[in-house]
Amino acid sequence: MTATTLAPADRTATDDYATLRTAVGAYRVTAPLVRLTGDDRLTFLDGFLAKSADYVEPDTVREVLALNADGTPFAILLHFEIGDESWLLPRTAATADELGAYLAQFEPSGVTVEVSPEGWGATAFEGPTAWSVAAAFVDFDISGLTLHAVTESTDAAPGATAHLARVGSTGEYGYLLLSDAPQAVHEAVLAAVAEQGGAEVGTDALARMQAEAGMGLYDAGFGGLTVGRADVAWMIDWNRIGEFHGSDGLVAPTESDARLTALVAPVGSRFTPGTPLTAAGRQVGTVLHQAPAANPEEELVLTLLDAPFWVPGLELTAEDEAGDARPLRTATLPRVIARSLTSKIA
């Protein structure tokens, strides 16, 4: 496929998907930012993040999990350490009010918490040529910005404070610009993306690629799943049970538990959440979420499957929205081999 730059009104989710897979797509980050300041901010973060901040380096970003009091997942967050500040950015759905209420329950001492700090915002861009866009915003060889590193960007917009992080959500090269001049930086990114044959992309194509990369929860949410059922137990530091919010309610998953599983189905199949999945007439799971139909080759469905049916390559059946029985097959993730895996940063 060859990506083409179209006027926004002419673009479809399939166009956006092709752009993200073959070139570079930009999008505005709409999730609420949180800024933390104060010498005790890392201690504060350790009170509710499921992995310790003991070994977090300055000018880095990591993905972390926060739990509810009962041990169920609250949100997946990006945690940035930039200078004397910590920043949080939700990956899963969380409003500013929800974040504010969640953080307020910990009564921070010596830490200032600002939810949606005025004037700040973020723009991201991803794709196999995203590095060539990022190169326009730094004064060094962009290959020197390693995954999960953050650097100051003096070229994003005149007079703006901007931080460029190498972090993505699609399996392709990804970068994010955090700035106090978000509109100017967003326009600068769009101009740089257009020069590389890319375009601004919508949420459907982005959500589809995230699901294919194994990050479908970003769009689907947790829907009341436990840590084990959501298959995010790897984000827990099990040696810190009792040390962070909600950890006392955790139960380590076992091989006999039901698990979040990706299935593929024929193009055009649409399934309602809650639809039963069957094997030889026996119900073995439930449809949770269907990724947007941006990939023209197949549909991707997230399900909760009983053990041992979450293994790859099994043929299952579900009734689609039209009432027809449709075949589905359990699949491994990532579903698509990212072009960035074989496309080097020049």
Rg (CA), the chain: 21
Residues in the chain, overall count: 346
pLDDT at residue 280, as a whole number: 93
pLDDT at residue 221, as a whole number: 97
How many whole angstroms separate alpha carbon 25 and alpha carbon 147? 18
Q: What angle do CA 194, 196, 200 make, to 5 degrees?
A: 40
How many whole angstroms separate alpha carbon 187 and alpha carbon 123? 9
Q: Tell me the domains of the chain and their CATH numbers.
A: 8-208 (3.30.1360.120), 218-331 (2.40.30.110)
In tens digits, the chain (346 residues) has pLDDT values of: 333 444 456 789 999 999 999 999 999 999 999 999 999 999 999 999 999 999 999 999 999 999 999 999 999 999 999 999 999 999 999 999 999 999 999 988 889 999 999 999 999 999 999 999 999 999 999 999 999 999 999 888 888 999 999 999 999 999 999 999 999 999 999 999 999 999 999 999 999 999 999 999 999 999 999 999 999 999 999 999 999 999 999 999 999 999 999 999 999 999 999 999 999 999 999 999 999 999 999 999 999 999 999 999 999 999 999 999 999 999 999 999 999 999 999 7
Which residue in this structure is represented by tokens 């990212």? 338
For 50, 160, 203, the CA distances from 181, given in Å and listed in that order, are 32, 6, 22
Q: What angle do CA 223, 217, 190 make, to 5 degrees?
A: 135
DSSP lists the bridge partners of residue 85 as 37, 82
How many whole angstroms separate alpha carbon 195 and alpha carbon 137? 14
For 13, 148, 331, the CA distances from 321, given in Å and listed in that order, are 21, 41, 22
pLDDT at residue 10, as a whole number: 78
Parallel, antiparallel, or unpaired: how do β-strands 25-29 and 199-200 relate?
Answer: parallel
pLDDT at residue 178, as a whole number: 98
pLDDT at residue 225, as a whole number: 96
How many whole angstroms separate alpha carbon 75 and alpha carbon 63? 11
